[in-house]
Chain A
Amino acid sequence: MSVDDPRLREQLDACRPDPQDRSVEDFPELAAELQTNATLRDTLARSRRWDAALQEVMQRVPVPQDLAMRLLSGLPDGPADAGLLNVVADVAVSSPAIPASGEATLSQTRRRTWLMTAGAALAVTAAVVLVLAYVLPDNRTAVTQRSLEREVPRWMASVDPQRWRLAASPPQAFPVSPVLPLAAHRWQALPQTITQDPVVCYDLTPRGQRPVLLFVMRTPRRVDLPTRPARPTLDTQMLSVGVWRDQNRKDLVYTLAVEGNAQRFEHLIRPQIASVSVPRPSVRTQSFGKT
Protein backbone atom coordinates (compact mmCIF):
# COMPACT_ATOMS: atom_id res chain seq x y z
CA MET A 1 0.00 0.00 0.00
CA SER A 2 1.29 3.43 -0.76
CA VAL A 3 0.66 6.41 1.42
CA ASP A 4 -0.69 8.96 -0.99
CA ASP A 5 -1.10 11.79 1.45
CA PRO A 6 2.27 13.58 1.88
CA ARG A 7 1.16 14.86 5.28
CA LEU A 8 0.69 11.31 6.45
CA ARG A 9 4.17 10.41 5.22
CA GLU A 10 5.65 13.33 7.09
CA GLN A 11 3.86 12.25 10.23
CA LEU A 12 5.14 8.71 9.88
CA ASP A 13 8.64 10.04 9.42
CA ALA A 14 8.27 12.25 12.48
CA CYS A 15 7.79 9.20 14.69
CA ARG A 16 10.92 8.19 16.56
CA PRO A 17 12.40 4.68 16.42
CA ASP A 18 11.38 3.83 19.94
CA PRO A 19 7.99 2.06 19.85
CA GLN A 20 7.18 3.83 23.13
CA ASP A 21 7.47 7.20 21.42
CA ARG A 22 4.22 9.11 21.78
CA SER A 23 4.56 11.27 18.68
CA VAL A 24 1.64 9.48 17.01
CA GLU A 25 -0.65 11.03 19.57
CA ASP A 26 0.20 14.43 18.12
CA PHE A 27 -1.37 13.41 14.83
CA PRO A 28 -5.04 12.50 15.24
CA GLU A 29 -5.45 11.72 11.58
CA LEU A 30 -2.58 9.25 11.59
CA ALA A 31 -3.65 7.75 14.91
CA ALA A 32 -7.14 7.13 13.60
CA GLU A 33 -5.84 5.60 10.39
CA LEU A 34 -3.50 3.32 12.33
CA GLN A 35 -6.45 1.97 14.30
CA THR A 36 -8.06 0.56 11.21
CA ASN A 37 -5.27 0.14 8.70
CA ALA A 38 -3.00 -2.86 9.33
CA THR A 39 -0.79 -2.04 6.36
CA LEU A 40 -0.12 1.41 7.71
CA ARG A 41 0.75 -0.11 11.07
CA ASP A 42 3.24 -2.35 9.28
CA THR A 43 4.69 0.64 7.49
CA LEU A 44 5.20 2.49 10.76
CA ALA A 45 6.74 -0.56 12.42
CA ARG A 46 9.06 -1.11 9.44
CA SER A 47 10.07 2.53 9.44
CA ARG A 48 10.86 2.38 13.12
CA ARG A 49 12.99 -0.72 12.70
CA TRP A 50 14.85 0.93 9.86
CA ASP A 51 15.37 4.08 11.90
CA ALA A 52 16.60 2.06 14.86
CA ALA A 53 19.18 0.36 12.62
CA LEU A 54 20.28 3.73 11.27
CA GLN A 55 20.42 5.22 14.73
CA GLU A 56 22.79 2.52 15.81
CA VAL A 57 25.03 2.96 12.78
CA MET A 58 25.11 6.73 13.23
CA GLN A 59 26.83 6.26 16.57
CA ARG A 60 29.35 3.85 15.14
CA VAL A 61 32.23 6.22 14.51
CA PRO A 62 35.71 5.18 15.58
CA VAL A 63 37.32 7.79 17.78
CA PRO A 64 41.03 8.50 17.26
CA GLN A 65 42.71 6.90 20.19
CA ASP A 66 44.88 9.81 21.22
CA LEU A 67 42.15 12.39 20.71
CA ALA A 68 41.51 13.00 24.41
CA MET A 69 45.13 13.76 25.04
CA ARG A 70 45.28 16.15 22.11
CA LEU A 71 42.06 17.87 23.15
CA LEU A 72 43.34 18.35 26.67
CA SER A 73 46.67 19.60 25.41
CA GLY A 74 44.85 22.12 23.27
CA LEU A 75 42.90 23.68 26.11
CA PRO A 76 44.33 26.91 27.52
CA ASP A 77 44.62 25.42 30.98
CA GLY A 78 46.87 22.75 29.59
CA PRO A 79 46.49 19.05 29.96
CA ALA A 80 44.62 16.87 32.23
CA ASP A 81 44.18 16.60 35.88
CA ALA A 82 42.54 13.31 35.09
CA GLY A 83 44.29 10.27 33.83
CA LEU A 84 45.61 10.31 30.33
CA LEU A 85 46.52 6.71 30.61
CA ASN A 86 43.02 5.99 31.84
CA VAL A 87 41.66 7.86 28.88
CA VAL A 88 43.70 5.76 26.56
CA ALA A 89 42.46 2.65 28.28
CA ASP A 90 38.87 3.88 28.14
CA VAL A 91 39.11 4.59 24.46
CA ALA A 92 40.70 1.29 23.72
CA VAL A 93 37.79 -0.45 25.41
CA SER A 94 34.92 1.65 24.16
CA SER A 95 35.86 2.50 20.61
CA PRO A 96 33.99 0.39 18.14
CA ALA A 97 36.06 -1.88 16.00
CA ILE A 98 34.15 -1.21 12.83
CA PRO A 99 35.35 1.91 11.09
CA ALA A 100 32.93 4.38 9.54
CA SER A 101 34.93 5.16 6.45
CA GLY A 102 38.17 4.57 4.68
CA GLU A 103 39.48 7.84 5.99
CA ALA A 104 38.63 6.91 9.52
CA THR A 105 40.21 3.51 9.07
CA LEU A 106 43.43 5.09 7.94
CA SER A 107 43.37 7.46 10.87
CA GLN A 108 42.70 4.69 13.32
CA THR A 109 45.53 2.67 11.92
CA ARG A 110 47.92 5.58 12.20
CA ARG A 111 46.99 6.58 15.70
CA ARG A 112 47.98 3.85 18.07
CA THR A 113 47.57 4.28 21.75
CA TRP A 114 50.42 4.77 24.11
CA LEU A 115 49.37 1.62 25.85
CA MET A 116 49.66 -0.44 22.71
CA THR A 117 52.90 1.26 21.95
CA ALA A 118 54.23 0.67 25.39
CA GLY A 119 53.19 -2.96 25.21
CA ALA A 120 54.96 -3.48 21.92
CA ALA A 121 58.02 -1.62 23.09
CA LEU A 122 57.99 -3.57 26.31
CA ALA A 123 58.11 -6.84 24.41
CA VAL A 124 60.99 -5.59 22.30
CA THR A 125 62.93 -4.29 25.23
CA ALA A 126 62.29 -7.42 27.26
CA ALA A 127 64.07 -9.35 24.55
CA VAL A 128 66.87 -6.82 24.65
CA VAL A 129 67.15 -7.24 28.40
CA LEU A 130 67.64 -10.97 28.04
CA VAL A 131 70.29 -10.52 25.39
CA LEU A 132 72.10 -7.92 27.44
CA ALA A 133 71.94 -10.02 30.56
CA TYR A 134 73.85 -12.82 28.87
CA VAL A 135 75.92 -11.13 26.22
CA LEU A 136 76.87 -7.77 27.69
CA PRO A 137 76.79 -8.06 31.46
CA ASP A 138 79.29 -5.23 31.96
CA ASN A 139 77.05 -2.71 30.28
CA ARG A 140 74.41 -3.01 32.99
CA THR A 141 76.26 -0.54 35.17
CA ALA A 142 76.85 2.03 32.45
CA VAL A 143 74.22 4.21 30.88
CA THR A 144 73.94 3.05 27.32
CA GLN A 145 71.56 3.36 24.46
CA ARG A 146 70.16 -0.07 25.21
CA SER A 147 69.82 0.45 28.93
CA LEU A 148 67.78 3.60 28.31
CA GLU A 149 65.60 1.97 25.66
CA ARG A 150 64.92 -0.71 28.21
CA GLU A 151 63.71 1.89 30.68
CA VAL A 152 61.36 3.73 28.34
CA PRO A 153 58.29 1.50 28.72
CA ARG A 154 58.55 1.62 32.51
CA TRP A 155 59.02 5.38 32.47
CA MET A 156 56.07 5.87 30.16
CA ALA A 157 53.89 3.70 32.31
CA SER A 158 54.90 5.60 35.42
CA VAL A 159 53.92 9.01 34.04
CA ASP A 160 51.12 10.04 36.35
CA PRO A 161 48.52 12.29 34.68
CA GLN A 162 47.64 13.66 38.09
CA ARG A 163 51.14 14.95 38.68
CA TRP A 164 51.81 17.16 35.71
CA ARG A 165 53.09 20.55 36.78
CA LEU A 166 51.39 23.32 34.85
CA ALA A 167 52.59 26.88 34.40
CA ALA A 168 55.38 26.29 36.86
CA SER A 169 59.10 26.70 36.47
CA PRO A 170 60.79 23.59 35.20
CA PRO A 171 63.50 22.11 37.40
CA GLN A 172 66.78 23.88 36.66
CA ALA A 173 68.80 20.77 37.27
CA PHE A 174 66.90 18.87 34.60
CA PRO A 175 66.68 21.21 31.62
CA VAL A 176 65.15 20.35 28.27
CA SER A 177 67.89 19.53 25.82
CA PRO A 178 68.91 22.66 23.92
CA VAL A 179 69.26 20.67 20.72
CA LEU A 180 65.50 20.08 20.57
CA PRO A 181 63.39 22.56 18.62
CA LEU A 182 60.36 21.76 20.77
CA ALA A 183 58.83 23.61 23.69
CA ALA A 184 57.66 21.86 26.82
CA HIS A 185 54.08 22.23 28.02
CA ARG A 186 54.44 20.57 31.39
CA TRP A 187 56.69 18.35 33.42
CA GLN A 188 56.81 15.90 36.28
CA ALA A 189 59.43 14.03 38.21
CA LEU A 190 59.14 10.27 37.91
CA PRO A 191 58.90 8.30 41.15
CA GLN A 192 62.36 7.39 42.34
CA THR A 193 61.13 3.94 43.16
CA ILE A 194 61.12 3.06 39.51
CA THR A 195 64.27 4.81 38.41
CA GLN A 196 67.84 4.08 39.32
CA ASP A 197 68.67 7.77 38.88
CA PRO A 198 66.34 10.77 39.15
CA VAL A 199 64.31 11.38 35.98
CA VAL A 200 62.10 14.26 34.94
CA CYS A 201 59.60 13.82 32.15
CA TYR A 202 58.61 16.71 29.87
CA ASP A 203 55.61 16.72 27.58
CA LEU A 204 56.73 18.22 24.27
CA THR A 205 53.69 17.18 22.26
CA PRO A 206 53.09 19.81 19.58
CA ARG A 207 49.53 21.06 19.48
CA GLY A 208 47.20 18.67 17.74
CA GLN A 209 49.85 16.03 17.23
CA ARG A 210 50.72 12.66 18.65
CA PRO A 211 52.57 12.45 21.95
CA VAL A 212 56.21 13.36 22.37
CA LEU A 213 57.85 12.82 25.76
CA LEU A 214 61.35 13.73 26.83
CA PHE A 215 62.93 12.01 29.82
CA VAL A 216 65.82 13.86 31.41
CA MET A 217 68.04 11.87 33.73
CA ARG A 218 71.00 12.83 35.87
CA THR A 219 73.34 10.04 36.67
CA PRO A 220 76.71 9.54 38.29
CA ARG A 221 77.28 6.45 36.16
CA ARG A 222 79.44 6.25 33.10
CA VAL A 223 77.59 7.49 30.03
CA ASP A 224 78.28 6.06 26.59
CA LEU A 225 76.08 8.16 24.39
CA PRO A 226 76.36 10.59 21.49
CA THR A 227 75.74 14.28 22.06
CA ARG A 228 72.97 14.65 19.51
CA PRO A 229 69.83 12.63 18.68
CA ALA A 230 70.64 12.28 15.02
CA ARG A 231 68.19 9.45 14.48
CA PRO A 232 66.11 7.12 16.65
CA THR A 233 67.95 4.15 18.03
CA LEU A 234 64.72 2.24 18.50
CA ASP A 235 61.90 2.29 15.95
CA THR A 236 58.93 -0.03 16.27
CA GLN A 237 56.98 2.05 13.72
CA MET A 238 54.64 2.95 16.58
CA LEU A 239 57.27 4.24 18.93
CA SER A 240 60.62 5.83 18.16
CA VAL A 241 63.20 6.40 20.84
CA GLY A 242 66.36 8.42 20.65
CA VAL A 243 68.99 8.83 23.38
CA TRP A 244 71.86 11.26 23.81
CA ARG A 245 73.74 13.17 26.47
CA ASP A 246 74.25 16.84 27.02
CA GLN A 247 77.22 18.27 25.17
CA ASN A 248 78.63 20.05 28.21
CA ARG A 249 77.34 18.06 31.14
CA LYS A 250 78.13 14.39 30.86
CA ASP A 251 75.79 13.48 33.71
CA LEU A 252 72.74 14.78 31.86
CA VAL A 253 71.06 12.15 29.73
CA TYR A 254 68.12 12.62 27.40
CA THR A 255 65.65 10.04 26.12
CA LEU A 256 63.09 11.18 23.60
CA ALA A 257 60.03 8.96 23.06
CA VAL A 258 57.97 9.83 20.01
CA GLU A 259 54.76 8.14 19.05
CA GLY A 260 55.32 7.27 15.41
CA ASN A 261 58.07 6.04 13.18
CA ALA A 262 61.62 7.19 12.64
CA GLN A 263 60.53 9.63 9.97
CA ARG A 264 58.37 11.53 12.46
CA PHE A 265 61.16 11.44 15.00
CA GLU A 266 63.64 12.93 12.57
CA HIS A 267 61.15 15.54 11.47
CA LEU A 268 60.52 16.60 15.05
CA ILE A 269 64.15 17.00 16.02
CA ARG A 270 65.06 18.83 12.83
CA PRO A 271 65.84 22.47 13.68
CA GLN A 272 62.95 24.74 12.75
CA ILE A 273 63.29 27.87 10.70
CA ALA A 274 61.12 29.77 13.15
CA SER A 275 62.16 30.54 16.68
CA VAL A 276 62.62 27.36 18.60
CA SER A 277 61.95 28.48 22.12
CA VAL A 278 59.31 31.20 21.88
CA PRO A 279 55.85 29.69 22.32
CA ARG A 280 53.45 30.23 19.49
CA PRO A 281 50.93 33.03 20.07
CA SER A 282 48.05 30.67 20.42
CA VAL A 283 45.34 30.76 23.04
CA ARG A 284 45.21 27.00 22.89
CA THR A 285 48.71 26.31 24.08
CA GLN A 286 50.49 27.34 27.19
CA SER A 287 54.17 26.82 27.22
CA PHE A 288 56.94 27.80 29.50
CA GLY A 289 59.56 27.26 26.86
CA LYS A 290 62.92 25.76 27.47
CA THR A 291 65.32 26.45 30.24
Chain B
Amino acid sequence: MVDPAVRADGDAEGFGPPAEAGSNGGAIHRLVLDHYQAVYRYAFRLTGSVCDAEDLTQNTFLIAQQKLYQLREPEKTDRWLFAILRSCYLKNRRRHRPVAAVNLELNVDELPEESVRQAEQSGVDEERLQRALNELADEFKLILLMFYFEDLSYKEIAARLQVKMGTVMSRLSRAKGWLRKSLLSLESDSLARRSVSRPLASPRAGNSGE
Protein backbone atom coordinates (compact mmCIF):
# COMPACT_ATOMS: atom_id res chain seq x y z
CA MET B 1 0.00 0.00 0.00
CA VAL B 2 1.52 3.26 -1.10
CA ASP B 3 0.71 6.65 0.22
CA PRO B 4 1.02 9.01 -2.71
CA ALA B 5 1.53 11.99 -0.47
CA VAL B 6 4.76 10.54 0.79
CA ARG B 7 6.75 7.75 -0.74
CA ALA B 8 8.63 5.22 1.33
CA ASP B 9 11.61 7.49 1.70
CA GLY B 10 9.40 10.35 2.74
CA ASP B 11 9.39 12.11 -0.65
CA ALA B 12 6.24 13.90 -1.56
CA GLU B 13 5.09 13.95 -5.12
CA GLY B 14 5.14 16.96 -7.34
CA PHE B 15 7.25 19.19 -5.17
CA GLY B 16 10.24 21.19 -6.16
CA PRO B 17 13.91 21.05 -5.29
CA PRO B 18 15.18 21.43 -1.75
CA ALA B 19 15.81 25.13 -2.07
CA GLU B 20 15.39 25.83 1.59
CA ALA B 21 16.77 22.60 2.95
CA GLY B 22 19.31 23.11 5.62
CA SER B 23 17.95 26.42 6.81
CA ASN B 24 14.92 25.04 8.53
CA GLY B 25 16.10 24.75 12.12
CA GLY B 26 13.53 27.13 13.56
CA ALA B 27 10.77 25.82 11.34
CA ILE B 28 11.26 22.21 12.36
CA HIS B 29 11.24 23.13 16.01
CA ARG B 30 7.98 24.99 15.52
CA LEU B 31 6.67 21.98 13.63
CA VAL B 32 7.56 19.63 16.47
CA LEU B 33 6.02 21.85 19.10
CA ASP B 34 2.82 22.36 17.16
CA HIS B 35 2.23 18.78 16.08
CA TYR B 36 4.10 16.30 18.23
CA GLN B 37 1.10 15.44 20.35
CA ALA B 38 -1.13 14.56 17.41
CA VAL B 39 1.68 12.64 15.74
CA TYR B 40 2.44 10.72 18.90
CA ARG B 41 -1.22 9.83 19.45
CA TYR B 42 -1.52 8.56 15.92
CA ALA B 43 1.69 6.60 16.33
CA PHE B 44 0.47 5.07 19.55
CA ARG B 45 -2.77 3.93 17.98
CA LEU B 46 -0.82 2.40 15.10
CA THR B 47 1.84 0.65 17.12
CA GLY B 48 0.04 0.04 20.40
CA SER B 49 3.24 0.65 22.34
CA VAL B 50 4.65 3.72 24.04
CA CYS B 51 8.22 2.94 23.01
CA ASP B 52 7.36 2.15 19.41
CA ALA B 53 5.18 5.23 19.22
CA GLU B 54 8.01 7.42 20.46
CA ASP B 55 10.42 5.93 17.95
CA LEU B 56 7.91 6.36 15.17
CA THR B 57 7.27 9.96 16.21
CA GLN B 58 10.99 10.67 16.27
CA ASN B 59 11.48 9.13 12.83
CA THR B 60 8.55 11.09 11.48
CA PHE B 61 10.05 14.39 12.55
CA LEU B 62 13.51 13.42 11.36
CA ILE B 63 12.11 12.79 7.89
CA ALA B 64 9.94 15.88 8.13
CA GLN B 65 13.05 17.90 8.85
CA GLN B 66 14.77 16.54 5.76
CA LYS B 67 11.72 17.06 3.59
CA LEU B 68 10.45 20.29 5.03
CA TYR B 69 10.91 22.07 1.72
CA GLN B 70 8.16 19.83 0.34
CA LEU B 71 5.56 21.30 2.63
CA ARG B 72 3.71 23.86 0.59
CA GLU B 73 0.39 23.99 2.36
CA PRO B 74 1.03 24.80 6.02
CA GLU B 75 -2.65 24.38 6.83
CA LYS B 76 -2.26 20.72 5.90
CA THR B 77 0.85 20.12 7.94
CA ASP B 78 -0.80 17.54 10.15
CA ARG B 79 -1.94 15.52 7.14
CA TRP B 80 1.56 15.73 5.71
CA LEU B 81 3.08 14.51 8.96
CA PHE B 82 0.54 11.70 9.22
CA ALA B 83 1.47 10.60 5.71
CA ILE B 84 5.14 10.53 6.68
CA LEU B 85 4.24 8.64 9.81
CA ARG B 86 2.29 6.02 7.87
CA SER B 87 5.14 5.69 5.44
CA CYS B 88 7.66 5.19 8.25
CA TYR B 89 5.39 2.69 9.92
CA LEU B 90 4.87 0.64 6.79
CA LYS B 91 8.55 0.70 6.02
CA ASN B 92 9.55 -0.65 9.40
CA ARG B 93 6.67 -2.89 10.25
CA ARG B 94 7.13 -6.53 10.87
CA ARG B 95 5.81 -8.68 8.09
CA HIS B 96 3.05 -11.12 8.84
CA ARG B 97 2.26 -14.08 6.70
CA PRO B 98 -1.17 -13.87 5.11
CA VAL B 99 -3.59 -16.18 6.80
CA ALA B 100 -7.24 -16.80 6.39
CA ALA B 101 -9.52 -14.19 7.84
CA VAL B 102 -11.89 -15.26 10.56
CA ASN B 103 -15.39 -14.00 10.63
CA LEU B 104 -15.51 -12.19 13.95
CA GLU B 105 -17.39 -9.11 12.99
CA LEU B 106 -20.47 -7.34 14.20
CA ASN B 107 -22.49 -5.81 11.39
CA VAL B 108 -23.47 -2.18 11.53
CA ASP B 109 -27.17 -3.05 11.85
CA GLU B 110 -26.44 -5.26 14.86
CA LEU B 111 -25.07 -2.40 16.93
CA PRO B 112 -27.19 -2.29 20.12
CA GLU B 113 -28.66 1.07 21.05
CA GLU B 114 -27.75 0.48 24.68
CA SER B 115 -24.07 0.03 23.82
CA VAL B 116 -24.04 3.16 21.74
CA ARG B 117 -25.61 5.14 24.55
CA GLN B 118 -23.09 3.75 26.99
CA ALA B 119 -20.22 4.62 24.68
CA GLU B 120 -21.52 8.15 24.40
CA GLN B 121 -21.91 8.55 28.13
CA SER B 122 -18.86 6.81 29.51
CA GLY B 123 -16.71 6.06 26.50
CA VAL B 124 -15.43 2.67 25.52
CA ASP B 125 -12.85 0.43 27.13
CA GLU B 126 -9.64 1.98 25.87
CA GLU B 127 -7.45 -1.01 26.59
CA ARG B 128 -9.81 -3.23 24.70
CA LEU B 129 -9.88 -0.73 21.86
CA GLN B 130 -6.11 -0.75 21.59
CA ARG B 131 -5.99 -4.53 21.81
CA ALA B 132 -8.48 -4.75 18.99
CA LEU B 133 -6.42 -2.34 16.90
CA ASN B 134 -3.25 -4.30 17.62
CA GLU B 135 -4.86 -7.44 16.32
CA LEU B 136 -5.79 -5.91 13.02
CA ALA B 137 -3.57 -6.31 9.99
CA ASP B 138 -1.96 -3.07 8.89
CA GLU B 139 -4.02 -2.84 5.73
CA PHE B 140 -7.17 -2.67 7.83
CA LYS B 141 -5.72 -0.68 10.68
CA LEU B 142 -4.40 2.11 8.50
CA ILE B 143 -7.75 2.62 6.84
CA LEU B 144 -9.52 2.51 10.18
CA LEU B 145 -7.21 5.14 11.66
CA MET B 146 -7.46 7.34 8.61
CA PHE B 147 -11.23 7.17 8.99
CA TYR B 148 -11.42 7.74 12.74
CA PHE B 149 -8.24 9.62 13.55
CA GLU B 150 -7.88 11.78 10.46
CA ASP B 151 -11.59 11.98 9.76
CA LEU B 152 -11.04 11.21 6.10
CA SER B 153 -13.79 10.02 3.80
CA TYR B 154 -13.49 6.70 2.03
CA LYS B 155 -12.74 8.62 -1.18
CA GLU B 156 -9.90 10.55 0.40
CA ILE B 157 -8.50 7.36 1.91
CA ALA B 158 -8.62 5.65 -1.46
CA ALA B 159 -6.87 8.58 -3.10
CA ARG B 160 -4.14 8.74 -0.49
CA LEU B 161 -3.47 5.03 -0.46
CA GLN B 162 -3.95 4.64 -4.20
CA VAL B 163 -6.34 1.76 -3.80
CA LYS B 164 -9.80 1.34 -5.25
CA MET B 165 -12.70 2.93 -3.42
CA GLY B 166 -14.44 -0.45 -3.28
CA THR B 167 -11.42 -1.90 -1.56
CA VAL B 168 -11.41 0.87 1.00
CA MET B 169 -15.13 0.45 1.67
CA SER B 170 -14.78 -3.27 2.07
CA ARG B 171 -11.79 -3.08 4.40
CA LEU B 172 -13.29 -0.24 6.36
CA SER B 173 -16.54 -2.09 6.87
CA ARG B 174 -14.80 -5.25 7.98
CA ALA B 175 -12.42 -3.42 10.27
CA LYS B 176 -15.27 -1.50 11.85
CA GLY B 177 -17.15 -4.75 12.23
CA TRP B 178 -14.18 -6.28 14.00
CA LEU B 179 -13.89 -3.29 16.27
CA ARG B 180 -17.58 -3.40 17.14
CA LYS B 181 -17.33 -7.08 17.91
CA SER B 182 -14.19 -6.66 19.99
CA LEU B 183 -15.55 -3.80 22.01
CA LEU B 184 -19.04 -5.07 22.57
CA SER B 185 -18.68 -8.77 22.97
CA LEU B 186 -17.81 -9.89 26.46
CA GLU B 187 -16.24 -12.95 24.98
CA SER B 188 -14.15 -11.21 22.40
CA ASP B 189 -10.93 -11.85 24.24
CA SER B 190 -11.40 -15.54 24.43
CA LEU B 191 -12.67 -15.67 20.90
CA ALA B 192 -9.61 -13.87 19.67
CA ARG B 193 -7.35 -16.17 21.62
CA ARG B 194 -9.12 -19.23 20.31
CA SER B 195 -8.54 -18.23 16.73
CA VAL B 196 -5.21 -19.51 15.56
CA SER B 197 -4.66 -16.57 13.26
CA ARG B 198 -5.20 -12.89 13.69
CA PRO B 199 -8.57 -11.72 12.50
CA LEU B 200 -8.55 -9.69 9.34
CA ALA B 201 -4.92 -10.58 9.06
CA SER B 202 -4.65 -10.07 5.36
CA PRO B 203 -6.70 -8.21 2.81
CA ARG B 204 -5.67 -10.83 0.31
CA ALA B 205 -7.60 -13.51 2.10
CA GLY B 206 -11.34 -13.43 2.19
CA ASN B 207 -11.61 -9.84 1.12
CA SER B 208 -14.02 -8.42 -1.39
CA GLY B 209 -14.25 -5.31 -3.36
CA GLU B 210 -10.80 -5.32 -4.89
Contacts and interface: CB of A to CB of B under 8 A. Distances in A.
B113 interface: yes
Contacts, number: 167
Contacts of A12: 108-109
Interface stretch (B12-20, B23-31, B73-81, B195-203): B23-31
B62 interface: yes
Interface in B144-176: 145, 147-149, 151, 153-155, 168-170, 172-173, 176
A91 B37 CA distance: 8
A16 B41 CA distance: 20
Interface stretch (A60-68, A117-125, A142-150): A60-68
Contact of B108 (A9, A57, A99): A9
Contacts of A98: 126
B112 to A, nearest CB: 9
A284 B62 contact: yes
A33 interface: no
Nearest to A55: B148
Interface stretch (A76-84, A177-185, A222-230, A252-260): A76-84
Which of A60, A104, A283 has the most B CB atoms < 10 Å from its CB? A104
Contact of A47 (B49, B108, B127): B108
Interface string A103-138: 110010000000000000000000000000000000
The secondary structure that dominates the B interface is helix
Which of A13, A46, A68, A70 has the most B CB atoms < 10 Å from its CB? A13
A155 to B, nearest CB: 23
Interface string B25-64: 1101110110011001100110011100010011001100
Interface string B90-121: 00000000000000000111110101100110
A230 B49 CA distance: 36
Given A3-B108, A57-B129, A75 B50 contact: no
The secondary structure that dominates the A interface is helix
B33 A80 contact: yes
A67 B32 CA distance: 10
A272 interface: no
A72 B107 contact: no
Interface string A40-69: 000100110111111111111101100110
A111 to B, nearest CB: 10
Interface residues of A, number: 63
Contacts of A63: 36-37, 40-41
Interface of B: 25-26, 28-30, 32-33, 36-37, 40-41, 44-45, 48-50, 54, 57-58, 61-62, 65, 107-111, 113, 115-116, 119-120, 123-124, 126-127, 129-130, 145, 147-149, 151, 153-155, 168-170, 172-173, 176-177, 179-180, 208-209
29 contacts: A1-B109, A2-B107, A13-B172, A13-B176, A14-B153, A14-B154, A14-B169, A23-B154, A49-B116, A52-B120, A58-B45, A63-B36, A71-B58, A72-B32, A75-B28, A76-B62, A77-B28, A80-B32, A80-B33, A81-B26, A82-B26, A82-B33, A87-B33, A94-B37, A95-B37, A100-B44, A101-B126, A102-B127, A208-B54
